[in-house]
C-alpha cells in the first residue's frame, strides 16, 4: 500500500509539472539546442546545416560559437516555416560586441531596407536590437535602443507576433521583459496579417543578408547562440518567461510524442 501511495503521489507531481509547462510545446515548429554541434531540429521537422560554427559550452549544455566573418546555420524552407500570421522566435545570445544588424535569426533575402524579410531579430549595438515582420509593400521593423544589458553575458531574446491579449501585434522581450514600447516605430508594430512568408527562402541563424540594401553585403554575428525556438503562434508574456526558464534539451516534445512526458524545468 505504501508503494502504491508513493507512486500515485509521484504521478500526480508529474501531471502538475506537465500541465504547468506543456504549453511551451504547443505550436513549436522547430527547436535547436546545438548540443552535439549540429543543427538537428529537436522536434524532428526541420534539420539545418552548420556552416563553420563550432560547438562550445553554452547557456544550457552546449551551443554554437560564430566567428563573425563566415559562420552561420542554414535551415531549408518548409511549409511549417511559412508563417503568415502567428509567430514566436526566441534564442539565447552572448556576444563580445553587438554588431550593427548582426543577424541572430531571420528568414530573409535582405535584413531590411524594404519588405525583404519574413521576420528578423538582429543586434544593432551592445545594447540595441532590431526586430520585425513584413507584409506586401511594408517593412514592419521596430528598433529598440538601450534594451540589451551589454556584451559578454547570456541574454534571452524573443519576438512574438499575434499573441493573444498583446497590446500590439508585434512584441519583443529581453530576459523575459517586454521592451517593445521603447521603439519609435509605433505604426509598424500594429501591422496586421497576412505577413510575407518568402516561400523557398531558408531560415538563417548568425547572419544578416544585404546590409544597407546591397546584395552580398552580409553581416555575420560574432559570439554564441543557444536554444533557438520557432513557433507558429505568438506566445504570451507568461509563456515567454516559462520558455526562458527551461532547457530545450529536455523540454521539447518531438513530433508525435506526448508533451506531458517532456515538459521539465532545467533546475530539476
Pairwise CA distance, residues 135 & 245, whole Å: 32
The pLDDT, as a whole number, for residue 247 is 81
Q: If pLDDT is split at 50, 70 and 90, which confidence band does 158 have?
A: very high
Give which of 87, 117, 100, 62 is closest to 222, Cα–Cα.
100
Strand partners, 224: 65, 94
Judge whether 68 and 27 are in contact, CB under 8 Å: no
Mean pLDDT on 22-30: 85
Give the confidence band of 7 by pLDDT, cuts at 50, 70, 90: very low
**% of residues, the chain, pLDDT over 90:** 82
Output the pLDDT for position 252.
65
- pLDDT for 79-108, tens place per residue? 999 999 999 999 999 999 999 999 999 999
Q: Convert the pLDDT of each residue in 132-141 to its tens digit.
A: 999 999 999 9
For cell 554588431, the residue is 99
pLDDT at 3 over 80: no
Mean pLDDT rounded to a whole number for the chain:
88
Residue 253's pLDDT band (cuts 50, 70, 90): low
The stretch 44-48 carries a mean pLDDT of 97
Question: Greater confidence, 248 or 209?
Answer: 209
Please answer whether residues 38 and 50 qualify as being in contact, where contact means their C-beta atoms are separated by less than 8 angstroms: yes
At residue 24, the pLDDT reads 82
Q: State the pTM of this model.
A: 0.88
Cell readout for 236 is 504570451
CA neighbor of 27 nearest in space, from 130, 201, 156, 161? 161
Residue 19 confidence (pLDDT) above 90: no
> Could you give the CA distance from residue 64 to residue 47 in angstroms, rounded to a whole number?
15
Give the torsion through C-alpha atoms of 219, 217, 117, 185, to 10 deg.
70
**pLDDT for the residue 43:** 94
Helical (H) or strand (E) element with 174: strand 170-174
Provide the pLDDT confidence category of residue 248 given band limits of 50, 70 and 90. confident
Contact 50, 41 (CB under 8 A): no
Kindly indicate the confidence band of residue 230, based on its pLDDT and cuts at 50, 70 and 90. very high
- Cell 520585425, residue located: 132
Q: Which domains does the chain have, with CATH numbers?
A: 27-254 (2.60.120.200)
Amino acid at each position: 500500500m505504501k508503494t502504491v501511495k508513493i507512486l500515485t503521489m509521484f504521478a500526480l507531481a508529474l501531471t502538475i509539472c506537465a500541465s504547468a509547462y506543456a504549453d511551451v510545446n504547443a505550436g513549436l515548429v522547430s527547436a535547436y539546442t546545438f548540443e552535439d554541434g549540429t543543427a538537428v531540429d529537436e522536434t524532428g521537422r526541420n534539420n539545418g546545416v552548420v556552416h563553420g560554427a563550432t560547438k562550445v559550452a553554452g547557456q544550457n549544455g552546449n551551443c554554437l560559437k560564430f566567428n563573425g566573418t563566415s559562420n552561420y546555420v542554414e535551415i531549408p524552407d518548409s511549409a511549417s516555416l511559412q508563417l503568415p500570421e502567428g509567430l514566436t522566435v526566441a534564442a539565447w545570445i552572448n556576444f563580445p560586441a553587438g554588431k550593427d544588424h548582426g543577424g541572430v535569426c531571420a528568414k530573409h533575402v535582405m535584413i531590411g531596407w524594404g519588405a525583404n524579410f519574413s521576420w528578423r531579430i538582429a543586434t544593432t549595438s551592445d545594447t540595441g536590437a532590431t526586430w520585425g515582420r513584413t507584409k506586401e509593400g511594408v517593412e514592419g521593423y521596430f528598433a529598440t535602443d538601450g534594451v540589451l544589458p551589454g556584451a559578454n553575458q547570456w541574454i534571452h531574446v524573443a519576438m512574438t507576433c499575434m499573441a493573444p491579449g498583446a497590446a500590439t501585434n508585434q512584441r519583443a522581450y529581453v530576459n523575459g521583459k517586454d521592451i517593445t514600447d521603447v521603439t519609435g516605430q509605433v505604426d509598424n508594430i500594429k501591422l496586421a496579417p497576412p505577413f510575407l512568408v518568402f516561400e523557398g527562402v531558408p531560415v538563417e541563424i548568425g547572419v544578416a543578408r544585404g546590409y544597407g540594401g546591397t546584395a552580398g553585403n552580409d553581416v555575420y554575428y560574432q559570439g554564441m547562440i543557444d536554444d533557438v525556438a520557432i513557433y507558429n503562434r505568438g506566445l504570451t508574456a507568461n509563456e515567454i518567461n516559462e520558455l526562458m526558464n527551461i532547457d530545450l534539451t529536455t523540454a521539447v516534445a518531438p513530433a508525435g510524442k506526448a508533451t506531458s512526458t517532456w515538459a521539465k524545468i532545467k533546475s530539476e
